[in-house]
Structure 1
Amino acid sequence: MLDDTLKAQLAAYLERVTLPFEMVASLDDSETSRDMRSLLETIQGLRADMISVRFDGADARKPSFSLQRTGTATSLRFAGLPLGHEFTSLVLALLWTGGHPPKVEQDVIDQIKSLDGDFNFDVYMSLTCHNCPDVVQALALMAIFNPKVKTTVIEGGAFQQEVTERDIMAVPMVFLNGQMFSSGHMLVEEIVGKLDTGAAAKDAAKLSAKDPYDVLIIGGGPAGAAAAIYAARKGIRTGVAAERFGGQVNDTMAIENYPSVQETDGPKFAAALESQTRSYGVDIMNLQVAQSLVPAAEPGGLIEVKLANGGSLKSKTVILSTGARWRNVNVPGEQEYKNKGVAYCPHCDGPLFKGKDVAVIGGGNSGIEAAIDLAGVVKHVTVIEFMPELKADAVLVKKLHSLPNVTVHTNAQTMEITGQDGKVNGLKYKDRATEAEHLVKLEGVFVQIGLVPNTEWLKGTVELSKFGEIIVDAKGHTNVPGVFAAGDCTTVPFKQIVIAAGDGSKAALSAFDHLIRH
């Protein structure tokens, strides 16, 4: 199951295990069960003094295995093989079960331990989903630290019947006590906050009590991280309030054009950004949504940022780096069938449509890359592009046209996403040249039509362009004194990671210049 290099790496990690635990497998005569037996025997053999394994489990889901720390009542189970993107989740679960402390704030651990009730989680994931590990690791952590939390991690490809019966068409998808709990990316703080109803008020009070910052950055993508690093290196008090550190980078699979980094993926890049930012002592406040900006009442006064949870933060200067999000196509059926056939991440949800017909709306680089990816998994891909020609790079278009299971409709306007029994069953589009309407029968629609800046909360405060972008000058100044902006939320052309990082650095230097002059 594991090559020699991976075994050596795993053996080094397992040296950190300090408490004995047991793995109990429930197997059948399938090939996946044989692979699971091999994997568990390998793990056990690497730390036989601390890890034991049994193959007499009686769980209904086969193949599956549980992790059980000796002398505790924890309940964590993996159904199917946790490989691919989930191998890291397995390694962390082994370490945490074996007593190695997680890299999580102590107050979050305390919150997990204090949860009271019966919490039985089923989390469905796919091995190609880069959003799934955060959710899987969060729920695994909760099961290990609170015996009232029971977590089963289910690999959708191994349990297709369950996926069909529960109408799972997007991952990660979480059920709590048999009822739908969440769909999509979530961090452990979000899950705990959803269960702990008093968490938001406590968090708001904690934030409002913080001392003012010299530089407060709103947004934690490449622009926000770079701004924080540059500001902190000036020795000034720096804070970052972010909805999700890393921002949209977390949803990017391959990064191959960042200077000095030949190849990486979004989650790794985002994790590196956060690690470097923390190394400079920056106060990172995750899961924070900004609601309004209150400019300083007088020159040299404090700027206030009010948050959605009721808290507020104050600072001498503010850098806005809120980034952008996927644009909706805004046709009937899109919201109704979201996660029921309408999807935005081909890497995450593509495997759930194996052998099915799907459409991709959008003929830019993102859309054509998605269509090429999906063509290797699904039965057939239909590309719908509004303009008369595809807008993607020529090399991508050439590759697309070489695929036998792809149909392209240009000059086509999406009119409606249709469905039946709660699931997508087709897409209506209009030929813009002839006005003729057509219906394509399919089971999935992937929307890939660009970005919209996250700036609605700034209307009436900071000057925005007609596209909603923050208007900035060459140094990142906005029209509000002491307020700067950087990255994809601004009028700076070309939305690229390297450009956003440069913008963030520039905005931080401008903010520092403002501080020493005013």
Structure 2
Amino acid sequence: MLDDQLKAQLGAYLERVTQPFELVASLDDSETARDMRSLLETIQSLRSDKITLRFDGKDARKPSFSLQRTGAGTQDLNLRFAGLPLGHEFTSLVLALLWTGGHPPKVEQDVIDQVKALDGDYQFEVFMGLDCHNCPDVVQALSLMAVLNPRVKTVVIEGNAFHKEVTEREIMAVPMVFLNGEAFGAGRMSLEEIVGKLDTGAAAREGAKLSAKDPYDVLIVGGGPAGAAAAVYAARKGIRTGVAAERFGGQVNDTLGIENYISIVETDGPKFAANLEAHVRAYEVDIMNLQRADKLVPAAEPGGLVEVHLANGGVLKGKTVILSTGARWRNVNVPGEAEYRNKGVAYCPHCDGPLFKGKRVSVIGGGNSGVEAAIDLAGIVSHVTLVEFAEQLKADAVLVRKLLSLPNVTVHTNAQTTEILGADGKVNGLRYKDRATGAEHLVALEGVFVQIGLVPNTEWLKGTVELSKYGEIIVDAKGQTSVPGVFAAGDATTTPYKQIVIAAGEGAKAALSAFDHLIRSSAPVAA
């Protein structure tokens, strides 16, 4: 199952196991079960003094295996993997082994305490895909909760190994989480987000704690490439720097391949986002994750403090503020889109594409993201119909040539999507209008992937800073907004070309401008 290099790496990790535990497998006669047996035997052989292995499990969901602590006085553990946790989930498996074996997680102590204090019985099922780059965060969060709290039970289910169950439960997007049999959430979620949904008093407590913080010299709102670069540049000036981010890494988390960030030949979005946060944490920056800004209050007088009000009631203050709230996927805004989201309407072809294997799908959008999505999906699904509003595809020529060479792709340009249709809670068609003739057309299909660009996350700023007609924050050459002491950078601004490398550069520029503003506003008055 594992090559020699991977075995060596796994063996080095398992040296960190300090407490004994056992792996209990429930197998059938499937090929997946045979592979699971081989994987578990390899794991056990690498740390046989601490890990034991049994094949007498009685779980109804086969093939699967549980992790169980052994020894007197040990806390119960309810963590099970159904199917093979390989691909993107191999790291999740390694972490589960380490945590079960006593290795401490790299999580803030107050979050660990919050998990341990959860009062209730929680039975989680998380469906994941091995090619899904959004799934590991959710899998690892729910696995750790089961390790920390005996009243939390987590089953991690690989969708392809349990395709019948996926179909019966109408799961059309991963990660998909069920709690006590009911839908709990879909898409990427962090440990803090999940715990926050369970601990209803957490938001108010967090808001009060944030309000008590001292003012920052530079307060950054948003943790994508622009916000991260701003934080590094500000912190290197030796000034008090804080970052309030709804999701560190921002839209980068949803990007699979990154091949145009200079000096990095190739990486993926989640890895790049993790590196952004690690770089910021290398400095004395106060990172406040899972914070959504609701209101900006300019300083009452020159040299005063700017306030950022948060959704949880907290208020942060800064001598200067850098807005780097980024952008999100744009909705097509037609009947059926909201109704069938995660029931056939999807926005991440890399995550959800495998769930549509052998089916018919459509991609809305003819830019680079849309054409790339269509190319990727064509290798998985039976047929792809691409619908583009403009008269021609807007993607790079090399991508267009590749797309048009594929035998199972149909392209409709000058076509306006008018409705996404469905029945019994699932998508079954898409309706579009030929903009030249006005003729209506219906395409029978099972999935629709929306890829029509981004919309800036600036609704909360209306009436405070000057915005363009597209909702972008208007900035000058130094990143200054219409409000003194408030700067902006990245995809939320009027800066052209929404690229990671440009956002990072603009974030650095905004931090330098904020520092210059601090110097000039605090300089003594001339005699």
Q: 2:474 aligns with which of 451, 457, 471?
A: 471
Q: Is 1:2 aligned to 2:2, yes or no?
A: yes
3-state secondary structure, aligned to 1:330: coil
Post-superposition Cα deviations, 1:446-471, rounded to whole Å, max 9, x if no partner, equal 00000000000000000000110000
Q: Is 1:229 aligned to 2:215, yes or no?
A: no
Distance 2:410 2:388 in 1: 11
Distance 2:236 2:17 in 1: 36
Amino acid at match of 2:436: A
Give 2:340's aligned residue.
337
Q: Is 1:165 aligned to 2:198, yes or no?
A: no
Alignment of structure 1 residues 67-82 onto 2, 5 Å:
67-70=67-70, 71-82=74-85
Q: 1:446 aligns with which of 441, 444, 449?
A: 449
3-state secondary structure, aligned to 1:134: helix
Amino acid at match of 1:493: P
Q: Is 1:323 aligned to 2:326, yes or no?
A: yes
Amino acid at match of 1:38: S
Q: Is 1:48 aligned to 2:62, yes or no?
A: no
Distance 2:249 2:9 in 1: 26
Distance 1:46 1:403 in 2: 46
The 4+ residue runs of structure 1 with deviation greater than 4 A are none
Gaps of 5+ in 2: 522-527
Once the two structures are TM-superposed, the CA of residue 402 in structure 1 deviates from its matched residue by 1.0
Once the two structures are TM-superposed, the CA of residue 174 in structure 1 deviates from its matched residue by 0.5
Distance 1:117 1:298 in 2: 49
3-state secondary structure, aligned to 1:236: coil
Post-superposition Cα deviations, 1:284-317, rounded to whole Å, max 9, x if no partner, equal 0000000000000000000000001111100100
Post-superposition Cα deviations, 1:214-265, rounded to whole Å, max 9, x if no partner, equal 0000000000000000000000000000000000000010111111111110
3-state secondary structure, aligned to 2:223: coil
Amino acid at match of 1:3: D
Once the two structures are TM-superposed, the CA of residue 67 in structure 1 deviates from its matched residue by 0.7
Amino acid at match of 2:26: S
Give 1:114's aligned residue.
117
Alignment of structure 1 residues 115-514 onto 2, 5 Å:
115-514=118-517
Q: What TM-score, normalized by structure 1, do the two folds share?
A: 1.00
Amino acid at match of 1:61: R
Amino acid at match of 1:507: A
Q: Is 1:103 aligned to 2:106, yes or no?
A: yes
Give 1:31's aligned residue.
31
Once the two structures are TM-superposed, the CA of residue 116 in structure 1 deviates from its matched residue by 1.1
Give 1:90's aligned residue.
93
Distance 2:391 2:520 in 1: 52
Once the two structures are TM-superposed, the CA of residue 412 in structure 1 deviates from its matched residue by 0.5
3-state secondary structure, aligned to 1:350: helix
Distance 2:173 2:69 in 1: 32
Once the two structures are TM-superposed, the CA of residue 167 in structure 1 deviates from its matched residue by 0.7
Distance 1:186 1:312 in 2: 24
Distance 2:317 2:42 in 1: 53
Distance 1:362 1:5 in 2: 41
Post-superposition Cα deviations, 1:305-347, rounded to whole Å, max 9, x if no partner, equal 0001111100100000000000000000000000000000000
Once the two structures are TM-superposed, the CA of residue 197 in structure 1 deviates from its matched residue by 1.0
Once the two structures are TM-superposed, the CA of residue 195 in structure 1 deviates from its matched residue by 0.6
3-state secondary structure, aligned to 1:487: coil
Distance 1:368 1:119 in 2: 41
Post-superposition Cα deviations, 1:49-82, rounded to whole Å, max 9, x if no partner, equal 1111111111011110001122331100000000
Aligned pair count reads 518
Amino acid at match of 2:193: E
Once the two structures are TM-superposed, the CA of residue 172 in structure 1 deviates from its matched residue by 0.6
Once the two structures are TM-superposed, the CA of residue 281 in structure 1 deviates from its matched residue by 1.6
3-state secondary structure, aligned to 2:183: strand
Amino acid at match of 1:319: I
Gaps of 5+ in 1: none
Post-superposition Cα deviations, 1:389-433, rounded to whole Å, max 9, x if no partner, equal 111111101111111111101110000000001110000000111
3-state secondary structure, aligned to 1:153: strand
Post-superposition Cα deviations, 1:468-509, rounded to whole Å, max 9, x if no partner, equal 000001110001000000000000000000000000000000
Post-superposition Cα deviations, 1:138-169, rounded to whole Å, max 9, x if no partner, equal 00000000000000000011101111111100
Give 1:19's aligned residue.
19
Distance 2:225 2:209 in 1: 26
Give identity over the alignment, percent.
Answer: 82
Distance 1:22 1:156 in 2: 25
Distance 1:60 1:203 in 2: 41
Distance 1:2 1:273 in 2: 30
Note the aligned Cα RMSD (angstroms).
0.6
Give 2:525's aligned residue.
none
3-state secondary structure, aligned to 2:258: coil
Distance 2:101 2:278 in 1: 24
Q: What TM-score, normalized by structure 2, do the two folds share?
A: 0.98
3-state secondary structure, aligned to 2:227: helix
Query: Which stretch shows the higher mean deviation, 62-71 or 447-456?
Result: 62-71
Q: Is 1:57 aligned to 2:60, yes or no?
A: no
Distance 2:272 2:200 in 1: 33
